[in-house]
Amino acid sequence: MSPNNYLVLSALLFSIGAIGVVLRRNAIVVFMCVELMLNAANLAFVTFARLLGNLDGQVVAFFTMVVAACEVVVGLAIIVTIFRSRRSASVDDANLLKY
């Protein structure tokens, strides 16, 4: 199968993730959509590594995974805190800061 198909798949995953961030209301789901976007980037890196025949892209994928794991730690801490204060993880309820 042509590696190009994987690029198309990664673009689809990235778009689904980006649309999800914009449309979904639950902070956890929004965050999962961001993770989907990071994984789409990983897929693109690995595909390009295969297309170009060098290993840089695969190494980048490892860095991304580590960074994504760190982001989960910080992100879930923040989301859990806000859920405990407000009894809701909806990003629409967090609306005190405006104008």
Q: Which of 8, 70 has the CB closer to other proteins?
A: 70
- CA distance linking residue 20 with residue 14, whole number of Å: 10
Q: Which of 9, 75 has the CB closer to other proteins?
A: 75
User: If you search the block for the tokens 């789901």, which residue do you land on?
Assistant: 29
> What residues are paired with 26 via a beta bridge?
90
| Residue 76, CB-side half-sphere exposure with 13 Å CA sphere | 7
In the complex, the smallest distance separating the C-beta of residue 78 from other proteins, rounded to whole angstroms, is 5
Q: Is 67 in the site for other proteins (CB under 8 A)?
A: yes
Listed residue (97, 5, 98, 96) closest to 50, CA to CA: 5
Binding site for other proteins (CB under 8 A): 7, 10, 14, 17-18, 21, 27, 30-31, 34, 37-38, 40-41, 44-45, 48, 51-52, 54, 56-57, 59-60, 63-64, 67, 70-71, 74-75, 77-79, 81-82, 84-86, 91, 94-99
